[in-house]
Amino acid sequence: MAAGPGQPLDRAGAGDRPTVLIASPLEEHHAARIAGAFAGRVDTVYRPDLLPPIRFPGDHGGSPGWRRSPEQQREWHAALRRAEVLWDFPLGESEPLLELAPRLRWVQTTSAGVGQYVQRLGLADSDLLVTTASGVHAQPLTEFVFAALLHHTKRVGHLQDEQRAHRWERFCARELDGQTMAIVGPGRIGRKVAQVARCFGMTVWAMARAHDPDRAAALGVDRLFARGDFHAMLAGADCVVLCAPHTPETDNLLDREAIAILKPGVVLVNIARGAVVDEDALVEALRAGRIGLAALDVFRAEPLPPTSPFWDLPNVLVCPHSASTADTENAKLTDRFVRNLGFYLDGRLDRMEPALDKARLY
Amino acid sequence: MAAGPGQPLDRAGAGDRPTVLIASPLEEHHAARIAGAFAGRVDTVYRPDLLPPIRFPGDHGGSPGWRRSPEQQREWHAALRRAEVLWDFPLGESEPLLELAPRLRWVQTTSAGVGQYVQRLGLADSDLLVTTASGVHAQPLTEFVFAALLHHTKRVGHLQDEQRAHRWERFCARELDGQTMAIVGPGRIGRKVAQVARCFGMTVWAMARAHDPDRAAALGVDRLFARGDFHAMLAGADCVVLCAPHTPETDNLLDREAIAILKPGVVLVNIARGAVVDEDALVEALRAGRIGLAALDVFRAEPLPPTSPFWDLPNVLVCPHSASTADTENAKLTDRFVRNLGFYLDGRLDRMEPALDKARLY
């Protein structure tokens, strides 16, 4: 039986020292910090030879085509069988996770939006504790939002064209100051986006699942909209930032009707999940020139197929689901994991954060 | 004799009602606001037919090649002869301004950095009152700084290349968070840049003419450097923003030696004046790849000649001296002018702002 929140963890059946397995690519110095933090109380298994190669700092995915040899796969499964704690969900397994890792009690993910994934793994009703990367990506995602927004508003593409032509012609750009941004999902990411938007002089609106107009100030936004006023919010926004978790409630939230209501020339930034948007309707609106810029970091199908119309639309900026990746990411995640590991070992499961709510899926 | 600051203006020799002449392109509704603000006390002369056509909102320049007919030029000079107040310096005159406009007592400029221009016009020792656009451009210039900085840091150029190739390959960008920005000239513009930089989590340094380390907090920066520590500041900065006025002290401030000291990969943004930088040394550093990005809104020769090496350098973003231009600019300048005009008519010259200090040239 799993220990309840705040109860000392009963680890009797799990052996004297829990095994922590690093299950996605991680730089050696971060792994060394994890192994060293509670060296006498934990066995840390770090086998980069059994993990995909690191392609860039903060790479948690697997290189396409990378496979373990049969011998490596046997070693890997042996490590999973011992693991009580995982740094990240292991990718590419066909068997149920809790059969591969029967001792598993806690997974620290390197992603924030893992609710749907946990459900697909059939773990939504399990006792498994899942802590996420929620918040770690707020800064790089906020920077991506403003990179896209300023690129459009300050007409950097126009500057590049003029520069290629060696043409000096003075022009007038718009300002963020005075524009209205609508944030769909004012969680940790949305609140950071809101903070910077207000610093630029923007008016910030948001729509939250739990609607309470009085929460606007606490969230750092000028006005909070109820789900029923979603279209009214969209109609007044110069810029819409999607950063809600993907749940049954947000699935296809920006549907054809919502897209039709957007202001002409609007900037749309999707840093949530592709399934939050009706992509066919979006492509139509983009082709009709009704959208100023769609900066899309996420898509229904990833990698985005080479035949997708998004690639060639002049008012689209495609980002390969990398807006959240920053060279500081693993250092921040390692800090979080070490802190959570301390609480875990002390049986203070209630202090571990941020824990995935497996009912709400975020 | 001109009235001293705060003394009631002696307007006896100037006729009962002063004439305000709109001397650079301005949209009709702004001119109407000026004419209507003190209709009984001022004659406003607005003759768009005698001014260059407006090419974009906030256009205060003249279209190249535009000329008045001889008859128009006669009308224009007659208007100048009557003018006591000018909205902007008239461009393209070869005769001394005070001979063309002998009644002239006050010019409201549409630019901030007019000190050197006023000196070239031979007006530095005159009694002419000059109020400037200082501060009006802080917002659009700040937005330009971050458009350039985020374009580079978030690798938007790389995204564009990948998108053209329909290539989906995850990657890692850097973050502004944690970087150090050095601001040369923390005036109204520099302080706004500093405010946004801190909002992004950057450490902000500045070098000011009047050095007093205790002023750092008042200026909203983390550390203030003396002129003698300029090189030390440059050596530690990931991003350098030039926004100092052009004065004899800042002429060629970023010289060859200073450029050599910049961090490899630095982002340099020049929104000051071209003459603040040794352009030959900058081109060499850019060619050697020692500069990550130079975002240049100003140049020693403007328009930038078609043969300039800046056009084709991949680590340069050329802006045709338009970073300060925004579609809200003339509304803000009109507000300022109307406010100053009220003080002028009441003889409260001390309240008119911001006045150009003709000794300091800013």
- Tell me whether B213 touches chain A (CB under 8 Å): no
- On the CB side of A194, CA atoms within 13 Å amount to 25
- Tell me whether B55 touches chain A (CB under 8 Å): yes
- The pair of structure tokens assigned to B132 is 């400037």
Question: Is B144 in Cβ contact with A56 (below 8 Å)?
Answer: no
- Give Rg (Cα) of chain B: 22
The minimum CA-CA distance between B345 and chain A, rounded to whole Å, is 32
Residue A252 has pLDDT above 80, yes or no: yes
The minimum CA-CA distance between B25 and chain A, rounded to whole Å, is 14
Q: Which residues contact B246 (CB under 8 A, 6 or more apart)?
A: B113, B115, B116, B272, B273, B275, B276, B361
What amino acid is encoded at B166 in this protein? H
Question: Per-residue pLDDT tens for A274-291?
Answer: 999 999 999 999 999 999
- The pair of structure tokens assigned to B18 is 């002063």
Q: How would residue A11 be classed by pLDDT, with cut points 50, 70 and 90?
A: low
- Tell me, yes or no, if the pTM score tops 0.90: no
Query: Do A44 and A37 touch, CB atoms closer than 8 A?
Result: no
Query: Do B128 and B117 touch, CB atoms closer than 8 A?
Result: no
Q: What CA–CA distances, in Å, run from A141 to A113, A202, A269, B226?
A: 13, 18, 10, 36
Q: What amino acid positions of B are annotated as catalytic residues? A: 273, 302, 321
Top residue of B149, B158, B172 to mutate, by most chain A CBs within 10 Å, is: B172
Low-confidence residues in chain B, pLDDT < 50: 1-8, 12-13
- The domain spans of chain A are 12-135+327-351, 138-318
Does residue A264 have a cis bond before it (omega within 30 degrees)?
A: no
Question: Per-residue pLDDT tens for A183-197?
Answer: 999 999 999 999 999
Of A168, A304, A316, the CB nearest to B320: A168
pLDDT at A12: 47
> In chain A, at which residue ranges do the beta strands (DSSP E only) sit?
19-22, 43-45, 85-87, 106-108, 129-131, 180-184, 203-207, 223-225, 239-242, 266-270, 291-296, 316-318
Inter-chain contacts counted by CB atoms under 8 A, chains A and B: 163
Top residue of A26, A56, A137, A171 to mutate, by most chain B CBs within 10 Å, is: A171
pLDDT at B8: 47
Distance between first and last Cα of chain B: 24
Give the whole-angstrom CA distance, residue A225 versus residue A95: 43
Contacts of A173 in chain B (CB under 8 A): 140, 143-144, 322, 325-327
Instruction: Tell me which residues of chain A, numbers 282 to 341, contact chain B at a CB-CB cutoff of 8 Å.
Output: 302-304, 306, 311, 316-323, 325-328
Top residue of B163, B179, B191, B298 to mutate, by most chain A CBs within 10 Å, is: B163
Question: Is B318 in Cβ contact with A162 (below 8 Å)?
Answer: yes
The minimum CA-CA distance between B27 and chain A, rounded to whole Å, is 14
Task: Please state, as a whole number, how many other Cβ atoms lie within 10 Å of the Cβ of residue B237.
Answer: 24
Q: Which residue of B has its CA nearest to A150?
A: B147
Domains B12-136+327-351 and B138-318 share a fold: yes
- Tell me whether A257 touches chain B (CB under 8 Å): no
Residue A61 has pLDDT above 80, yes or no: no
More confident: B135 or A269: A269
pLDDT at B53: 92
Give the whole-angstrom CA distance, residue A197 versus residue A199: 5
CATH of domain A12-135+327-351: 3.40.50.720
pLDDT at A9: 54
Residue A8 has pLDDT above 60, yes or no: no
What amino acid is encoded at A92 in this protein? G
The residue among A79, A81, A53, A78 whose CA lies nearest residue A67 is A53
The residue among A86, A82, A80, A135 whose CA lies nearest residue A109 is A86
pLDDT at B3: 41
Of A61, A150, A311, the CB nearest to B146: A150
pLDDT at A214: 80
pLDDT at B31: 96
pLDDT at B258: 98
The CATH number, out of the four listed (4.10.520.10, 3.40.50.720, 3.90.320.10, 3.40.50.970), of the domain defined by the range B12-136+327-351: 3.40.50.720
The residue among A296, A345, A340 whose CA lies nearest residue A317 is A296
Q: How far is CA A114 from the centre of its chain?
A: 8
- The pair of structure tokens assigned to A47 is 């086998």
Q: What CA–CA distances, in Å, run from A259 to A278, A285, A343, B65?
A: 9, 7, 45, 46
pLDDT at A1: 36
Residue A209 has pLDDT above 80, yes or no: no
Question: Is A143 in Cβ contact with B150 (below 8 Å)?
Answer: yes
pLDDT at A10: 55
User: In this structure, what DSSP letter does residue B228 have?
Assistant: G
The residue among B243, B192, B180, B181 whose CA lies nearest residue B220 is B192
Lowest mean pLDDT among A203-217, A221-235, A295-309, A342-356: A203-217
Which homologous superfamily does the CATH classification assign to the domain defined by A138-318? NAD(P)-binding Rossmann-like Domain (3.40.50.720)
Instruction: Tell me which residues of chain B, numbers 120 to 159, contact chain A at a CB-CB cutoff of 8 Å.
Output: 139-140, 142-144, 146-148, 150-151, 153-154, 156, 159
Question: Is A160 in Cβ contact with B143 (below 8 Å)?
Answer: no
- Tell me whether A64 touches chain B (CB under 8 Å): no
Task: Please state, as a whole number, how many other Cβ atoms lie within 10 Å of the Cβ of residue B18.
Answer: 23
pLDDT at B16: 74
